Amino acid sequence: MTRHLNGYVGALLATGGALVAYRAGRTHAAWREVRSARYSARPGRKLAWSHSARLAAGVAVIIAGLLMAGFEMSR
């Protein structure tokens, strides 16, 4: 049982790490674009906040998955 959970945790970390890295890059690029834009700052800011929210949601899902896997492994 623990062997299978270790595989799931590894897969979760691998895919989750790639997802978080991608989201972090998009979020950073969106905020950099907002800072450099002189006009239409409001739509750019809205886009940057949406990327930030997606990044936070992705991190929360990964942490929840790791906590659940840890709980299952401890039983």
Is 65 exposed, middle or buried (CB count within 10 Å of its CB: 0-12, 13-18, 19+)?
middle
Whether the Cβ atoms of residue 61 and residue 19 lie closer than 8 Å to each other = no
pLDDT category of residue 3 using cuts at 50, 70 and 90: low
Tokens 């691998």 appear where?
A: 14
Q: To the nearest whole percent, how much of the chain has pLDDT over 70?
A: 84
The model's pTM is: 0.58
pLDDT category of residue 39 using cuts at 50, 70 and 90: low
Res. 40: pLDDT tops 70 = no
**Mean pLDDT value of segment 13-41:** 77
